[in-house]
Amino acid sequence: MFKSVPAFVGLRYFTSGGRGGLLVSFISMLAIAGLALGVALLVVVLSVMNGFDRELRERILSVVPHIQLIHGIGVSDWPAQSQLIAGLDQVTEVTPYNEAEGLIHSGQQTRPIQLLGLSARAVPAGLEDVIRGAGLAIPQSGQLLLPQPLAEDLNVAVGQQVTVIVPAINGSATAAYSFLVTGIFATHTELDQILGLASLEEVGSIAGVEGLVQGFRLQVEDQFDARDTGYRLLEQLPFGYGFRDWFQTHGNLYQAIQLSRNLVGLLIFLIVAIATFNVVSMLMMSVVNKRSDIAILQTLGLSRSAIVQLFLIQGAMIGLFGIALGVLLGIIGCYWVADLVLWVESLIGASFLNTAVYPIDYIPVDLRWGDVAQIAAVAIVLNLVATIYPALRASRMVPAEELRFEG
């Protein structure tokens, strides 16, 4: 007879709050809202941090070499060396390069610049996508491509002349070089603050290795094995090479992303836990408010285990409803957060993510269903744990004492 009573009464308490349960119903709504908000925030924040991780792998590491081979005196037979390196294990892309650092000057503005010299015959795939996407080509002698943020800082447009000042190299005097800006591009990464693209031969001349290349930019199959791959490559290459990998240039960024993801996830997880344990307060008030109801059910023959089930069902329904709502809001938030940030930026006229400070200038989102399922599962478990004490407290009530003053 009583098999369906716990479920029926538990659902009844969840939907109506029971007799005199307006306050309990209000607190139930607060508990649901707290759960939904915490779960939604956790879904959105973890998706954004996943997005930063993905962008580091796919965007930043597509324009930054996984391994940069550096020759001590420069490579003369670089086409042959390039073919040799391309045939080695794990190597997926080889690009000869020259680079020089200095200052770029235009009008009253001066900024640091890193000139990267590339050959039109061998352009890194990541940079080629950026350059071709902007409708540009690798510059010829005397030409320079600038990233948009740097061009804006210098107040430079296409067709204008700029001066690059390079400090003394190998005993030579400080020199100034004039370039014509032939294009403006954007990687949407921190490179937009400093990178300038020029011809391989001209940068080689500026760097003091005329007719040579300083080394090669490599992409490898397993980017997280770049350091070990670099050491293996040195064993197979002629004497004179050294290398640096992306861990040395961007490893701190990757570690910061992982640490931020874990810390922010932990913080919001604690928020979810606090919201979950609000269910304890709500159920305790429900137990106090329904003392007489519990006593009557017990006198009618409802067992203590059935009373426990009743309140577990009520708490579970609150938890499931709040968590489901939170997951839904979180998924919607993931699709809207980037547009929302752009709207706020346009409203206040400021940028939250400037590549002078952050690695990219937009909010990336990578919604992973495994994370969503894990968040929901943990929240459900916490919610069930939170309902145990109030349910046990209700089952220990003595009917005679609770009904003594009922009249």
pLDDT at residue 392 in the model: 76
- Look at residue 245 and tell me if it is in a domain: no
Same-domain status, 378 and 267: yes
Q: Residues 376, 323: contact at Cβ < 8 Å?
A: yes
| Four-CA torsion 366, 369, 373, 379, nearest 10 degrees | 20
Considering the domain architecture, whether residues 263 and 389 belong to the same structural domain is answered as yes
306 and 364 share one domain: yes
Which pLDDT score, from 0 to 100, does residue 1 have? 42
> Taking the CB of residue 209, how many other CB atoms lie within 10 A of it?
22
- The answer to whether the beta carbons of residues 375 and 38 sit under 8 Å apart is no
249 lies in a domain?
no
Instruction: Report pLDDT for 272.
Output: 74
Secondary structure of residue 67 in the 3-state scheme = strand
The pLDDT assigned to 347 comes to 82
Q: How far is CA 81 from CA 88, 120, 228, in A?
A: 11, 17, 21
Q: Check residue 380 and give its pLDDT.
A: 87
With respect to residue 51, please indicate whether it lies within any of the assigned structural domains.
yes
- Is residue 200 within 8 A of residue 207, CB to CB? The reply is no
**Contact in structure between 261 and 50 (CB atoms under 8 Å):** yes
Structure tokens at 54: 């993905």
Beta carbons within 10 angstroms of residue 263's beta carbon = 11
Half-sphere exposure (CA, 13 Å, Cβ side) for 117?
Answer: 26
b/e for 280-294, b at 16 or more Cβ within 10 A?
Answer: bebbbbbbebbbbbb
Q: Where are the beta strands (DSSP E) in 153-235?
A: 161-166, 175-185, 195-199, 213-220
Asked whether residue 263 falls in the same domain as residue 394, the answer is yes
Domain for residue 87, yes or no? no
Does residue 192 form part of some domain? yes
* Structural domain containing residue 330: 5-59+254-403
Neighbouring C-alpha atoms within 13 Å toward the C-beta of 191:
25
SS3 94: strand
Residue 84 lies in a domain: no
Q: Assess if residue 13 is contained within a domain.
A: yes
Same structural domain, 273 and 398: yes
- Give dist(CA 181, CA 148) in Å, integer: 12
204, 230, 264 — which closes off a domain?
Answer: 204
- pLDDT value of position 181: 95
Residues forming a β-bridge with 110: 105
**pLDDT, position 287:** 66
> SS3 string of 189-211?
EHHHHCEEEEEHHHHHHHCCCCC
Q: Where does 167-325 show beta strands of DSSP type E? A: 175-185, 195-199, 213-220, 241-245
Q: H or E element: which one contains 110?
A: strand 109-118
Give the model's pLDDT for residue 174.
83
Same domain membership, residue 104 and residue 37? no
Among candidate residues 204, 234, 266, the one where a domain is terminated: 204
Q: Mind listing the pLDDT tens digit of every residue in the chain (407 residues)? A: 444 655 555 555 555 555 545 555 676 777 788 888 888 988 998 898 888 888 877 777 888 899 999 998 888 888 888 989 998 888 999 999 999 999 999 988 999 999 999 998 888 888 988 898 888 988 999 999 999 999 999 999 999 999 999 987 765 678 899 999 999 998 888 888 899 999 999 999 998 888 899 999 999 998 888 899 999 999 888 888 999 998 887 777 777 777 777 777 787 778 777 777 777 776 777 666 666 666 666 666 666 677 777 777 777 888 888 899 999 999 999 989 888 888 887 888 777 776 666 667 778 889 999 889 988 888 888 888 888 877 777 666 655 455 555 55
Q: For residue 179, give the nearest of 191, 190, 166 by alpha carbon.
A: 166
Joined together, the tokens standing for residue 194 give 């400093």
Looking at the structure of the chain, the number of domains it has is: 2
Give yes or no: residues 296 and 170 share one domain.
Answer: no
For residues 10 and 112, membership in a common domain is answered with: no
> In terms of domains, do 46 and 109 share one?
no
Q: How many CB atoms lie within 10 A of CB 330?
A: 27
Same structural domain, 268 and 375? yes
| Torsion angles phi and psi, residue 144, rounded to 5 | -145, 135
Q: Give the C-alpha distances (Å, rounded to integers) separating 338 from 32, 202, 211, 332.
A: 26, 41, 47, 11
- In this structure, is residue 212 part of a structural domain? no
Residue (of 246, 271, 286, 250) closest to 15 by Cα position: 286
- CA dist 254 and 260 (Å) reads 10
* One domain for residues 125 and 188: yes
283 and 342 co-located in one domain: yes
